[in-house]
Structure 1
Amino acid sequence: MGNYTLRKYDSIKLNGVKRHGEGLRIFCLQELTKTNTPEWEQAVYRFIIEWLSFEDFVTAHTSGSTGKPKEIRLQKKYMIASALKTIDFFNLSEGKTVLLCLSANYIAGKMMLIRAMVGGFNLLLAEPTGAPLKQINEPIDFTAMVPLQVFNSLPDFGHKVKNVIIGGGVLSSELLKKMHGLPTRFFETYGMTETVSHVAVKLIGEESTPFKAMPNVTFAIDNRGCLIITAPDITDHPIVTNDIVELRDDCEFFFLGRYDNVINSGGVKIIPEEVERKLSDVLKVPFLISAVPDEKLGEKVVVVLQEYSQGNLSLSDLSACLSPYEIPKAILRIAQFPLTDSGKVKRYEVRKMIAEEYH
């Protein structure tokens, strides 16, 4: 596999300059020795060097949003297959310009590099800031962003970017409204490090649109209602997730929430992500639905805000759009939501913080 990878996908055009093979490896090593090369850019060069090695795999880390980040090995052949799925789905042809504005330390950033190699694209590098398009002056055919980057880049999209895939967080109703009418096509993605990036996408802007499988991917559910992914060209075996879904057929599903996050309040199971979607029109500030221990209910639902947020909020403001069991029993505040390096809220840490503070 190593020889095949080096022979077929050992070149990349970065910021308009194409290099391949040993010349590409030497260039990356030289950039890493420079004292003024920023860390985010070093991550790009480190990954390219790892890709050019004769190992059949690369090392990646899970995001850590639901627990401690794990180190896993990803087969290069699976990364190539995943890249080909995306290139095919978005009909991207050789010579297109794509943008990397996510950290190359994580799978989303790594896969932008692989797509550029496999597809023969010109890959522009931008610092993975909250508003990366401010660094870009030329048209972009395809890029990947997290919701915060999309929100901060809304004034800069215009006709600058044709296609954006979005992952790594929940899209608020406010953001969805602001995206409506822009010429850019936005797609929400579903995937994880273990599936080598996304295995399903949905076009944003169409009401009640399910996630649709990428080529050669099928879905089922287990007895918990959690998604099972079968994708023989990117995984050795079916992947059983902790994501609760509503399955339409073996190629389409609606995402409901994480099994790990389910709140059991008085015997009623509540999915925080569903409550958050209902409240996204009411709360225009960063918030989270969580739970604290309760003697009577076992767990009781609470809404958690950052300290500076919406000072005069009352529980009655939240009740109109929720079922009786979903209504938060308290409003709690913490100084700052703990985030992973890829920008996801660490829900399990929030629970720990408010449990300690509540008692």
Structure 2
Amino acid sequence: MTLDPIRPDTWPLPQTPYEAEALAFCRAWLSGQTEFTLYTSGSTGTPKPIQLTRAQMQASAHLTGQTLGLQAGDVALVCLNIRYVAGIMMLVRGLELGLPMTVIEPVGNPLLDFNTDRFAFTALVPLQLQTILETNDPGKLAILNGMKAILVGGAATSPALERAMQVITAPVYATYGMTETVSHIALRRLNGSDASESFTALTGVDLGTDERGCLHITSAATNFERIQTNDVVELVDPMHFRLVGRADRVINSGGVKIQPEQVEQVIQGVLTTLTSGNDNTTRRLFVTGLPNERLGQRVVVVYEQGAWGSWQGQKSSLSQEEWAKIQEAVREKLGVYAVPKELIAVGQFIETPTGKIDQKATVAQIR
């Protein structure tokens, strides 16, 4: 479905319930509606409703346009779920910035049905970008390279995916944000010579940390109210930060606090080297703490067995030697207490409505 924000009289009739929902939001926006109810993704708990004002959403949209150099007439591909803030804000950016929009229902490869179309802007989840790159289709790569900017959010990007995306010449950015901040408030360049490990806050966004080292955010998009997060960060300076992990995911093993996201990053890095550069597949896993009488919690790795079926041929897990390499790498980089004690397979991860791994529900299957 193609929507020209300048010519709403040319908008087509919806062919699916999803298209009808997208059109209903766009018409409500053009009617001047001043408040909207969106829902959090539910990645760290039950989805909850958030009331956002038109002014907040406009501030976010225009700041993104300014940051990425988007101009009226630039064509946007909207392929994220419009039932959540990331998808809805793609629609708002189109309507506010004058970007013609191609709106499709979320799929694994959103470029599958496009060959010659040229988009200037899109937002993807990591799995979508990985799926596109795995096709090794020069035509799809040309579409990506023709864009002014590609946003990637909703989940962390793995070392394997970040390596794979270096073939993209268009700028690719990881996003940091949430429903309460009306989508992203900071970007991190993922490819090219300007790639960085730090997020850069958008203009006018004020950052700080609380006593836990967790980020708080104030901006026009938050109505200048302070939004306190549970994300532990290293605040490099007032405009830059490195994301360490979630405070509510910290594992306490033998009295030592371990940030599981750091362990996950080391593991994915080792998996990348074990493939000798021949495989850019991201294997779904997460690190968590399970009860242990002596340590309080023991560090374990939970992986989705079905997603590892092609690991080095037909293997569905790691050899003892490969597992030992992972443990040694974690020991060297993060210390002995962070070394995972066990590798646990589950048939399939339970997911949230936005496709994120529901770690609590998945772990509940193990116990």
| TM-score above 0.5 | yes
Spell out the pairing of 1:108-147 with structure 2 (5 A cutoff). 108-136=86-114, 137-147=116-126
- 1:78 is displaced (CA, Å) by 0.5
Structure 1 residue 43 displacement after superposition: 2.8
SS of residue in 1 equivalent to 2:301: strand
Quote the Cα distance in structure 2 between the aligned partners of 1:42 and 1:171.
Answer: 32
Contact kept, 8 Å, 2:5 with 2:95, in 1: the verdict is: no
What amino acid does structure 1 have at the position aligned with 2:49? E
* Aligned match of 1:245: 233
Deviations 1:118-159 (A, max 9, x none): 111111122310100112231111110000011111232223
Per the alignment, residue 317 of structure 2 pairs with 311
Amino acid across the alignment from 1:152: T
Q: State how far apart, in whole Å, the 1-side matches of 2:46 and 2:28 are.
A: 24
Can you list the C-alpha shifts for 1:164-195, whole angstroms capped at 9, x where unaligned?
01100111111111111321210001000000
Instruction: Please state whether the residue corresponding to 2:82 is helix, strand or coil.
Output: coil
1:198 maps to a residue whose letter is H
Residues 142 and 164 in structure 1, CA contact (< 8 A), matched pair in contact too? yes
> Which runs of structure 2 are paired with 1:177-192 in the superposition (5 Å)?
177-192=163-178
Inter-partner Cα distance in structure 2 for 1:17 and 1:226:
39
- The corresponding residue for 1:264 is 252
Q: Unaligned stretches of 5+ in structure 1? A: 1-12, 32-36
CA positional deviation for 1:17: 7.7
Indicate the residue corresponding to 1:34 in structure 2: none
Give the aligned partner of residue 332 of structure 1.
344
Structure 1 residues 220 and 97: CA distance shift in structure 2, 3 A: same
How many Å separate the matches in 2 of 1:197 and 1:17? 21
1:58-116, Cα deviation, whole Å (9 max, x unpaired): 11000000101111111111000000000000111111111101111111110111111
- Check conservation: 1:97, 1:139, Cα contact below 8 A: yes
Give 3-state SS (helix, strand or coil) of 1:244's partner. strand
Which sections of structure 2, spanning at least 5 residues, go unmatched? Answer: 272-281, 309-315
Per-residue CA deviations over 1:199-233 (Å, capped at 9, x if unaligned) read 00011134543100111101100000000101135
Write the mapping of 1:190-205 to structure 2, written as runs, cut at 5 A.
190-205=176-191
Distance 1:50 1:17, change over 3 A: closer
In 2, Cα distance between equivalents of 1:49 and 1:122? 15
Q: Which moved more, 1:133-142 or 1:267-276?
A: 133-142
Contact 1:157 1:184 (C-alpha < 8 Å) held by counterparts: no
Instruction: Within 5 Å, give how 1:1-359 maps onto structure 2.
Output: 14-15=2-3, 18-20=6-8, 23=9, 31=14, 37-52=15-30, 55-136=33-114, 137-154=116-133, 155=136, 156-158=140-142, 159-205=145-191, 206=194, 208-283=196-271, 285-308=283-306, 309=308, 310-314=316-320, 315-322=323-330, 323-354=335-366, 356=367
Amino acid at match of 2:65: I
CA contact (8 A) 2:189 2:195 kept: no
- Offset of residue 307 of structure 1: 2.3
Residue 55 of structure 1 and its aligned partner are, at CA, apart by 4.0
Counterpart-to-counterpart distance in 1, 2:178 and 2:42: 11
Matching residue's letter, 1:351:
V
Task: Give 3-state SS (helix, strand or coil) of 2:270's partner.
Answer: coil
Superposition RMSD on alpha carbons, in Å?
A: 2.0
* Alignment correspondent of 1:10: none
Match of 1:131, SS state, is coil
CA contact (8 A) 2:56 2:220 kept: no
CA distance in 2, matches of 1:215, 1:48: 27
**How far off is 1:46 after superposition?**
3.0
| SS of alignment partner, residue 245 of structure 2 | strand
Measure, in 1, the Cα distance between the counterparts of 2:260 and 2:128.
24
Partner in structure 2 of residue 4 of structure 1: none
The code of the aligned residue for 2:305 comes to: E
Inter-partner Cα distance in structure 1 for 2:52 and 2:31: 14
Q: Secondary structure at the match of 2:229?
A: strand
Deviations 1:226-263 (Å, cap 9, x if unpaired)?
00101135334110100000001111100010111111
Alpha-carbon distance in 2 for matches of 1:101, 1:332: 33
Name the count of aligned residue pairs. 333
Q: Tell me, what secondary structure is at the counterpart of 2:261?
A: helix
Letter in 1 for 2:141: F
- Supply the distance in 2 between the matched residues of 1:140 and 1:224 (Cα, whole angstroms): 42
